[in-house]
Amino acid sequence: MANNPLVVCVDDDEAMLGTVVRCLRREPIELRSTLSASEALGWIASDEVAVLLSDYDMPEMTGAQLAGHARRLRPETVRILLTGQRNLATAIDGINQGEIFRFLNKPFDNDQLRAAVTAGVARNRELLAMSGDRERRQRREQLRTALEAEYPGISHVDRAAGGCYEATADPWGEAIALELPGLTAKLETSS
């Protein structure tokens, strides 16, 4: 079960929460449920939650507010709202505060709920992959910046007159020009 994605379900109505859990319990996921939005936020802060499935209308905070907090804590957690309120204001609130992935109406169809959670898990995997790419780009930029700080000019490349590229390794060193068939390069060396 450790390899299964974590799905957190939140609803202040214990009977509805039980219905959601029964609907999802056979899915290949780790499932946690709570009546408390604060407890759900604690789980999101401490664990890699793939999907947050929340009721919209709760006393502690709305599902949209919960989704907004979850987005700030863990942006790759996919947020799904269950709502009995079928109005545009609910949808706008959810989109503005929590960047909601899906809205499902109560009463919900079991197959639709399972499909939404499955799609949410797939979207979470995509977001994790993209965040990994972003982290690699950030690390690469940090390394380039550190290298540039230690060796000023090393990452600076100019196109010289005549169409050849000029790479400067040490701006105070001696320049060496290399000409190869189809390629001309000018290298800087330290004295």
* pLDDT > 90 in the chain, percent: 49
pLDDT given at position 38: 93
72 to 42, 68, 108, 134, 184: CA distances (angstroms): 13, 6, 28, 17, 50
- Give the least confident one: 72-76, 80-84, 184-188: 184-188
* CATH 3.40.50.2300 location in the chain: 6-138
Predicted confidence band of residue 191 (pLDDT cuts 50, 70, 90): very low
Axis-axis angle for helices 63-73, 37-46 (nearest 10)? 20
| Residue 51: DSSP 8-state | E
89 to 53, 93, 163: CA distances (angstroms): 19, 6, 59
1-15 pLDDT, tens digit per residue, is 458 999 999 999 999
14-57 pLDDT, tens digit per residue, is 999 999 999 999 999 999 999 999 999 999 999 999 999 999 88
Give the residue carrying structure tokens 């060396």: 189
Predicted confidence band of residue 163 (pLDDT cuts 50, 70, 90): low
Choosing among 3.40.50.720, 3.30.365.10, 3.40.50.2300, 3.40.309.10, the CATH entry for 6-138 is 3.40.50.2300
Tokens describing residue 56: 């919209």
Q: What is the mean pLDDT of residues 81-86?
A: 81
156 vs 180, higher pLDDT: 156
85 vs 141, higher pLDDT: 141
pTM: 0.68
Give the pairing of strands 49-55 and 30-34. unpaired
